[in-house]
């Protein structure tokens, strides 16, 4: 019989990388993303039995991560956003590099309101359905659709400009 610690360890090993990517896209800073993931995983461990009983443990943990990112953003509202990405910490290339420079994309994402940013990250970068995104964000599918539409409109306008807001 597997111990709860072993089950938790397997869960973390299989999901740590995607969680780090989500955290980075929510906050734009690899060091902060690591902190957010660590905090989310610590909370996951404290409530492991409840997480296991959830309809979707992945959605449960992503919600914890998004809450942590939002909590940090509220506490540090007046802090300057990160200005550059450390080259040695850039993850393996993904399709977004073919479309626009990673730094420009991250700056554009960071300019979105938190809920719109979370919606875009979950829908398009995590390839979640509207239903799955709504479950993670604890809102209706209509809200996901409207937040996504607004976010994509804003991103389109920002990425077509010469300058992005800092």
pLDDT reported for residue 81: 54
- Residue 116: exposure state from Cβ atoms within 10 A (0-12, 13-18, ≥19): buried
| Percentage of the residues of the chain whose pLDDT score is greater than 90 | 59
Tell me the two tokens of residue 14.
Answer: 């299989």
Tell me the two tokens of residue 4.
Answer: 């709860």
- Is 165 part of any domain? no
- Is 154 part of any domain? yes
- pLDDT per residue over 22-32, tens digit each? 999 999 889 99
- Is 80 part of any domain? yes
- Is 166 part of any domain? no
Ramachandran assignment for 127, one of left (phi > 0), alpha (psi -120 to 50 degrees), beta (any other): left
The total number of structural domains that make up the chain: 1
3-state secondary structure of 67: helix
- Is 32 part of any domain? yes
Average pLDDT for 4-29:
90
Residues contacting residue 58 through CB under 8 Å, at least 6 positions apart: 15
Concatenated DSSP letters of 100-165: S-HHHHHHHHHHS-HHHHHHHIIIIIS---HHHHHHHHTS-HHHHHHHHHHHHHHHHHHHHSS---
- Is 82 part of any domain? yes
- Is 97 part of any domain? yes
- pLDDT per residue over 64-91, tens digit each? 999 999 999 888 876 655 555 444 555 5
Domain span at 17: 4-160
Residue 147, pLDDT > 80, answer: yes
| Buried-state track 77-101, b at ≥16 Cβ within 10 A, e below 16 | eeeeebeebeeeeeeeeeebeeeee
| Closest of 84, 158, 153 to residue 119, by C-alpha | 153
Cα 58 from chain centroid?
Answer: 13
- Is 131 part of any domain? yes
Opening angle at CA 107, ends 105 and 108, nearest 5: 65
Domain with residue 99: its CATH number is 1.20.140.160
Average pLDDT for 105-123:
91
pLDDT tier for residue 139 given thresholds of 50, 70 and 90: very high
């Amino acid at each position: 019989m597997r111990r709860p610690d072993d089950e938790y360890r397997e869960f973390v090993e299989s999901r740590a990388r995607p969680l780090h990517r989500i955290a980075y896209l929510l906050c734009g800073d690899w060091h902060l993303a690591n902190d957010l993931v660590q905090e989310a995983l610590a909370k996951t461990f404290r409530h492991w039995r409840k997480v296991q009983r959830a309809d979707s443990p992945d959605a449960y943990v992503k919600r914890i991560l998004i809450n942590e990112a939002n909590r940090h953003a509220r506490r540090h509202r007046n802090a300057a956003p990160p200005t550059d990405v450390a080259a040695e910490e850039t993850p393996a290339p993904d399709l977004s590099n073919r479309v626009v420079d990673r730094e420009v994309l991250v700056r554009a994402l960071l300019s979105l309101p938190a809920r719109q940013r979370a919606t875009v990250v979950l829908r398009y970068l995590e390839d979640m359905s509207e239903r799955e995104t709504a479950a993670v964000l604890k809102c209706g599918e209509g809200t996901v659709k409207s937040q996504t539409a607004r976010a994509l409109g804003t991103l389109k306008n920002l990425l077509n400009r010469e300058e992005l807001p800092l």
